[in-house]
Amino acid sequence: MNARCSCPEAVWMNLVFSACGPDVSSEWQIEGRRLVPLMPRLVPQTAFTLTANNAANIQAEKNAALPPPTATGNKEREFGG
């Protein structure tokens, strides 16, 4: 795997600076730059994605049926004041 693909540009430039010192030529700096940005990664799909989504949807429905948090707490009653 290419090192430039596995680490961000800033890390690559720090590595070059550490390896070669402050007098790094412009060729090394140009080498570390990407001409085309990397493609964003897709959301991972696993065998449990469907089950997890269903469970999240069921819990979201249950949470929507509950009263809001501001209506469930009463500090005066809790602390006897």
Average pLDDT of adjacent 10-residue blocks, the chain of 81 residues: 63 75 64 75 89 96 91 66 51
Predicted confidence at residue 43, as pLDDT, reads 83
The residue extents of the domains of the chain are 3-32
Q: What tokens does 76 get?
A: 């005066």
- Count other C-beta atoms under 10 Å from residue 64's C-beta: 7
The Cα 12–Cα 37 span in angstroms is: 15
The Cα 7–Cα 41 span in angstroms is: 15
- Look at the pTM and tell me if it is higher than 0.85: no
Predicted confidence at residue 50, as pLDDT, reads 94
